[in-house]
Chains A and B, each alone.
Chain A
Amino acid sequence: MKEYGRFLWRCFRLSFVGDWRYYSWMLLLTVVALFGLNAYANQFVHGLITTGMTDQVSWGLYISNFTYLVGMAAAAVMLVIPVYIYKNKDLHDLVIFGELFAVASIIMCMLFVTVDLGRPDRFLHLMRLNLPTSMLAWDVIVLNGYLFLNLHICGYLIFCSYKRRKPTRKFYIPFVFIAIVWAISIHTVTAFLLVGIGGRPFWNNPIIVPRFIASAFSAGPAFIILTLQVIRRSSSYKVTDEALGLLRTIVTIALTINQFLLISELFTELYANTAHSISLQYLLFGLGDKNDLVGWIWPAMIFNTIALVLLYIPRSTTMMRTNVACVLLIVGIWIEKGMGLIIPAFVPTPIGEVVEYTPTGNEILITLGIWATGLLIYTIFVRITIPVLSGELTYDRVYRTEEEVLPDPISHPKGE
């Protein structure tokens, strides 16, 4: 236990060590996070009146980012399945970066839900959940469960590597398999949270659930592809082209399914053109002069389509096309599975009121702050994990950067 405390302390110190690029990145994230914190303090004092939400559109930017990030978190499973079920060697040493991203995403999800609550001081009321009927209650359980599963798996593997010890399979393999099912469940439950609302036909649509998962399994691994290339360039950690190629294939298949389901949804709703399609019409074409989302959803659909075309062109050695495709689809799906999914369901309301939603500056600052916090956490995770997994930082070895910058981190190491 003492050793574990010392491990955490050394990780904490290590998170303050890096080159100028690392410092600049962390400084930027810290500044944005603090601006977000300040904006949240403002919201906490004055109430949710500081947001753009209304009686008619009572979920906005926060819940939009929440639904998107639940997907990003579930995407770690796209690395876990090839490694633990199909015994893929290329991804074996990289799977942990997916799991760590899941942890960071879930933390962001929880922050987004917290800032969306009118009374966050009453979070202890969640100790008595309305089960089994409330999907939000289930969401609390599955998100927390997924967070702890991934924290345990990553923490255990990294600590074993730090101790230069072979991990005991029974302490993590069962949890890996539980986490695979659990990852699907977090996205399914979050989708059920929306599709179960009978009065809003835009959500009350079974295709939302598979589309949720397909879009998650393309945007999440796309983010991992970009991260792994940053890791490859900024450290000596081994990231093979084959690993990136496999992730690229996963993204391509998931995005193809997502686009197919999109066409299927568009056809069903627009061809029949019943009263149920009115929210989709608002999203795509606007209702009269109310058309705030039209300028967002079309670029999103075009981005995703271009990304799909780029991914079907055979991979080049520079990964340039893949990277462009990844950026396009991360943004495209952020719009489509964020604001594009949440807001139209409220416009019009079931009794016909049409009220549009525009986030306020304060709301946007809080959102940016949470993203910065999440990326800060993920950067620290990656910063610590690379030297530990590559054997440069262990319980009995001083890491070279520590030696240069920090005074004697292991004064009396055990076992020496």
Chain B
Amino acid sequence: MKQVTRILEGVGSVVQLLLRSASYTGTLPRQWSRFIEQCYLIGYTTLPIVAILSFFIGTVLALEAGYAMQDFGAKEFIGSLVGLSMARELGPMMTAVLLAGRVGSAITAELASMKVYQEIDALTTMNISAAKILVLPRLAAVLVMMPVLIVISNIVGWFGGSVVARYVSYVGISPEAYFAALRHFTKFKDVMNGMEKAEVFGFVVVLVCCDIGLNTKGGPREIGAAVTRGVVVSLILILVLDYFVTKILL
């Protein structure tokens, strides 16, 4: 029962934070520099690891697909499998998982340490809303940067698959055939669905991590606990939301 109460409290707190942040949307143009800074942190600094991960996801997909399909003589469909898997599922989900691990943990740690060291209290006494200057720019930045990360993740993942398709002996199909199948089966709608998923995941990760950071109580030890909680809750939410968002989008 206590667990249920805590979960409901958490949901209420996140919704409140969302509403408070949304009420300051009109101030975003004046927070341009904070928004750009967050775009840099969320987008630019996450980009290399997203690219590396996506490349190897693409290669593994092509390897597995090639291995499974060689018996059926359906190797020319590897492109479609890699294309659809990356665009609809693995691109958005793995990018969101990376976001939770890299950006979510950093956000939770920063806000939790601001809370523990009374910087949030200082903001309150100055009548400056933490939702306005700390949460809103991050939410706006993740909404702008997630599609960019997804496009790059998809392109790099597709390219990774083509490298395997071309150079691994038991796969051995030309890049032209690989990309022809990919283009034929992967529609613009699939890419858009993936982006919509990524937007939902990214937004939830940042919102939840901000909330956990801002609600941290205690000393420095609690900062570490808050980071762990932020990442774990984010990962669970990504997987749970994945089912429901996929169901809605299909």
B is bound to A: no
Interface residues of A (CB under 8 A from B): none
